[in-house]
Structure 1
Amino acid sequence: MASTQRTHPIVFNPVPAPLAEDAPSLRLLSYNIQAGIATSQYRDYVFHGWKHVLPSADRIRNLDHIAGLLRQFDIVGLQETDDGSLRSHFLNQTEYLSLRSGLPHWSSRLNRDLGHWGQHALGLLARTQPLNIEKHPLPGRIPGRGVLLADFAWQGQSLRIIVSHLSLSQRARRQQLTRLIELCAEHPGPKIVMADFNCTPDNADLQKLCNQANLKLPADSPDTYPNWRPNRAIDHILVSPEIVIESVEALRFGVSDHAPLAMQIALTPPDSPHLQANAS
């Protein structure tokens, strides 16, 4: 019996006011959008596989649906976007989502250039302008993984956001996580890593990233894959100890084979007893 697509109506809030640097909390989203392809069962990988290289009539409609979700957030990290190829109607999908969602500041990092057949990329959208943007490659036997990094002013501090998508191979993923540790170490302030890690929270290398980069996972990591019946937590948002995780949720949404991962956070004041207790 074919499984049904796991969706329910989404009620979109009006576009929130522009984010101020002293905003008390931030709404984050990390989402592997699968280049705007709707996937509702495993057999779609076979019967709809052509959508990964050729344009489809429903792709723009899917992107518009995603944009309606994104407008509820302040900072969004995207994986598996397309920078403009045949399959995406030669649209830069990150730019398109920026325009349609009302998140005015965007950047993308081309990870794998397949010419007209695919421009595999990472994307970052934000309600406030970043102070700095950097794009880095990640190691691996097969090139095509990278990091999109942005620094923002928030609560009087510089907040570093890192967006990435790691390899399926454990060996390559270990090398990539080591590089993420280095990029986190370069920044003394609060940090957030938003990625499709392709591994669960108990993975030893992911735990090493948390320990050596001084990051934490939520107490319970929501399952995000497969979107139609999630049973694996492989998409994660990691934050510094001084960041309070107010809520985290894998959203019910019918585009991509991954569920979007939403998190709301607040920043603990530097002199907070709670933060000092964690550091001791």
Structure 2
Amino acid sequence: MRLLLYNIRYGIGLGAGSHWPVPGVGYMTGIRSNLNPITAFIKGQDPDIVGLVEVDGGSIRSRRINQAETIAHALGHYSVYQCKYGEGSLNQLLPIVRKQGNAFLAAPHVHGARFHYFDTGIKRLIIELELAECTIYLVHLSLKYRHRHAQLHALHNFVTASRKPVLIAGDFNTLWGTDEIFLFMKATGLRNANTLGLPSYPSRAPRKELDFVLYGDGINITEFSIPDVQFSDHLPLICDFRVERNSLAAA
């Protein structure tokens, strides 16, 4: 099974059109045509599951196009999308911002998709995708160190409560890479699919390991790569894995 994780930066790209003299304006305007190469790249990788971080759900920035649904349609995938801010957050009321979310696209039969929310941080969404063989969580952790570690504590509870093999994928915003999540990984027994600690940010000259695919017992990683494509400020992660049969019998 192939999992592709990609923070697509709402499809605004890295070209001159996204660099405005006023900070943040690029996030409000976007470049509609940039979604086409992103879609073509993802389709070319033939993924079974796609985890999209920073995807536009249909604001004026994307010309009212739900980027998750558009990419899913091109792949022939099922899609599930949700705003990444808490249900009671004021961000849910703001134009454009309320359409900023994360999404799963999946080819295999989905047994269930659920939304959970962290108690701390601005970006609070956890998407749980339950497949027949395993459970995958998609997250975009807080920029604040204190909030980020509270969120990791909550993820620990999800992992330990799961009856199926678990993967966690997402943008962890870990400025110190795996060093920052070392204790979390020890406590949960999760391992990093990126065994070489390859950086994924910024895409033009990667220096930081912000994006992760973590996996637990019952999961075997068969291939991992970070393609050098610059359609976003993050590089995508591609992880091929299989679920051990004895772990399914135990579940």
The bucket for the TM-score relative to the shorter chain is: 0.7 to 0.9
More helix by share: 2
**Matched residue, 1:11:** none
Cα distance in structure 2, aligned partners of 1:184 and 1:45: 42
Q: What is the number of residues matched between the two proteins?
A: 235
**Deviation at 1:249?**
1.3
Instruction: Specify the code of the residue in structure 1 equivalent to 2:41.
Output: L
What SS does the corresponding residue of 1:228 show, helix, strand or coil? coil
Compared CA separation, residues 143 and 233, structure 1 to 2 (3 A): closer
What SS does the corresponding residue of 1:179 show, helix, strand or coil? helix
Unaligned residue ranges in structure 2 (runs of 5+): 86-91
Identical-residue share of aligned pairs (%): 26
Residue 137 of structure 2 corresponds to residue 133 of structure 1: no
Residue 219 of structure 2 corresponds to residue 243 of structure 1: yes
**Deviation at 1:117?**
2.6
**Deviation at 1:45?**
7.2
2:167–2:215 Cα contact (<8 Å) kept: yes
CA displacement 1:227-261 (0-9 Å, x = unmatched): 01111111000011321111211111121100001
Alignment partner for residue 145 of structure 1, among 104, 110, 124?
124
1:40-189 matches, cutoff 5 A: 44=19, 49-54=24-29, 56=30, 58-59=31-32, 61-71=33-43, 72-102=46-76, 104-112=77-85, 113-118=92-97, 119-140=99-120, 142-154=121-133, 159-189=134-164
Compared CA separation, residues 111 and 242, structure 1 to 2 (3 A): same
Normalised by the length of structure 1, the TM-score is 0.78
Compared CA separation, residues 45 and 80, structure 1 to 2 (3 A): farther
Compared CA separation, residues 188 and 111, structure 1 to 2 (3 A): same
What SS does the corresponding residue of 2:246 show, helix, strand or coil? coil
Cα distance in structure 2, aligned partners of 1:256 and 1:197: 16
CA displacement 1:33-65 (0-9 Å, x = unmatched): 000011269x937568423112x4x32x22121
| Bigger-Rg structure (1/2) | 1
Please say which of residues 121-130 and 104-113 is displaced more in the overlay. 104-113
Cα distance in structure 2, aligned partners of 1:195 and 1:233: 11
1:185-200 matches, cutoff 5 A: 185-199=160-174, 200=176
Compared CA separation, residues 73 and 87, structure 1 to 2 (3 A): same
Unaligned residue ranges in structure 1 (runs of 5+): 1-25, 272-280
Cα distance in structure 1, aligned partners of 2:123 and 2:19: 24
Cα distance in structure 2, aligned partners of 1:210 and 1:40: 37
Cα distance in structure 2, aligned partners of 1:85 and 1:121: 11
Cα distance in structure 1, aligned partners of 2:154 and 2:220: 25
Instruction: Specify the code of the residue in structure 2 equivalent to 1:105.
Output: Y
Cα distance in structure 1, aligned partners of 2:163 and 2:34: 39
Instruction: Specify the code of the residue in structure 2 equivalent to 1:64.
Output: N
Cα distance in structure 1, aligned partners of 2:38 and 2:105: 13
Cα distance in structure 1, aligned partners of 2:72 and 2:246: 33
Cα distance in structure 2, aligned partners of 1:123 and 1:94: 6
**Matched residue, 1:259:** 235
Instruction: Specify the code of the residue in structure 1 equivalent to 2:105.
Output: L
Instruction: Specify the code of the residue in structure 1 equivalent to 2:225.
Output: E
What SS does the corresponding residue of 1:109 show, helix, strand or coil? strand
**Deviation at 1:114?**
4.8
